[in-house]
Amino acid sequence: METESTNERGVSRRGLIQGAAVLGAAFIAATAPAPPASAAGLTVTRVKVLAGTQVPVQYGVGATDLGIPARTPEGRMLFMFGDTWADHVGGANWRSPVALYSSTTNLVSGVTFNGSAGAGANTQGTAPQLWYYPHDNYFTTVIPSDVITIGSRMYLHAIVNGPQFGTVRWTELWKSDDNGATWQHTGLQFPADMAGGKFQCITWGEGNDGYVYIYGTGFQRDKGIVLYRVPSNNMTTLSAYQPWGYANGSWGWGKPVTEVLSGQFGEMCLRPLGGKWILTWFNSGAYRIDAMVLNTPTDNLYTAAKTTLLYGTEWNTEDASHVAQLYGGYIIPGSTLSDLHLSVSQWNTGNNSVYHSEQFRVQGLV
């Protein structure tokens, strides 16, 4: 089973997702949202499970994770999910990536889905894998990294794993010109060793200066991050991606790529929001989801203020702000800096009873 496979460094998918989690002795079923809990000046609310276990199956999605959201050109939201099964982890109809639409405008009431993307999705009622490939010894799986809308086109950065999960063959850029309904390969592949292996899992946001800014890290949750930019009208040209680097006593674009913040980064989400930039990420080394509010992506990340939004914990000690085996942490469109909504994943790797994406509300960040 893919969930038990190991790569050349001995990292299984289960171990990679588990990260720094301290497993509890027992699982506490999530039957109702936990009440808001204030942590470090924040008010955190578990709004609802979006998709996966603990909610009824929708569009053939019974077990899934991630749920990376973006606003489509037509104005709906598209949530991009990773490894997905019809029933349970390792079960029937394994797909990745899959995507669901939402027309929700009131985030406080919780995101609901009203459609699925992919060829034939609107007629067959089951969210298909967005493009065909076999889950085999070459393509173990393809994981979405981030999705962005630029004008009338959407772009998806995807991580190609093989022969085992955690071994990245390359990453690649896909595009959609029909609001995410169907996807075509742009022809652009990024080498797995680009930026010393720190351009495997990325996040991005479009500035008001004609550039898309990109933070990148490895897929193994054991590396720091680097910064790139690319003209928003030249996303498919590899040479157009400029690194931010330090040389000859100063930082600048086009200099040798330089780590902008050390650490053990997992999934990340960079977005322009409220006249600022916000970066949220799974801090694997500290087992929590953190955030920084920045003036620009080129800010000094070492001195930037950092806030913990959610803490990892054991399964028998969860509350609104302490979440067992958490990862992800993607900003849902419609959020503000003071009223942030996140898509956060959980996977109980001990018994697979929990494998889902959940909506969290964080108030008071600024």
- Residue 332: DSSP 8-state: P
Distances from the Cα of 103 to the Cαs of 99, 114, 224, in angstroms? 14, 7, 36
Average pLDDT over residues 273-278: 99
Find all residues with CB under 8 Å of 30, minimum gap 6, and list them.
46, 49, 54, 354
Q: Say what the pLDDT of residue 21 is.
A: 54
Residue with tokens 């950065």: 157
CA distance 269 to 264: 15
Domain boundaries, the chain: 2-363
pLDDT in tens, 100-148: 999 999 999 999 999 999 988 777 789 999 999 999 989 999 999 999 9
pLDDT > 70: percent of the chain: 89
Q: Within 10 Å of residue 130's Cβ, how many Cβ atoms?
A: 25
Whether the pLDDT of residue 23 is over 60: the answer is no
Res. 50: pLDDT tops 50: yes
Top-confidence residue, 158 or 37: 158
Contact partners, residue 136, CB within 8 Å, separation at least 6? none
The domain defined by 2-363 folds into Tachylectin-2; Chain A (2.115.10)
CA atoms within 13 A on the CB side of 287: 13
In tens, the pLDDT along 313-352 reads 999 999 999 999 999 999 999 999 999 999 999 999 999 9
What's the average model confidence in pLDDT over 234-253? Answer: 98
Residues near 209 by beta carbon (within 8 Å), at least 6 away in sequence:
none
Evaluate if residue 24 carries a pLDDT over 80: no
Q: Is the Cβ–Cβ distance between 328 and 83 less than 8 Å?
A: no
What one-character DSSP code corresponds to residue 295?
Answer: S
**CB contact burial 50-79 (16+ within 10 A = b; e otherwise):** bbbbbbeebbbbbbbbbbbbbbbbeebbbb
Paired tokens of 257: 């790529």
pLDDT of the residue at 123 = 72
Instruction: Answer yes or no: pTM beyond 0.85.
Output: yes
Instruction: Please report, rounded to a whole number, the percentage of residues in the chain having pLDDT higher than 90.
Output: 86
Which residues make Cβ contacts (< 8 Å) with residue 139, sequence separation at least 6? 133, 160, 161, 162
What's the pLDDT at 346? 99
Q: What is the pLDDT of residue 119?
A: 84
Average pLDDT, stretch 159-164?
Answer: 95
Q: Is the pLDDT of residue 190 over 60?
A: yes
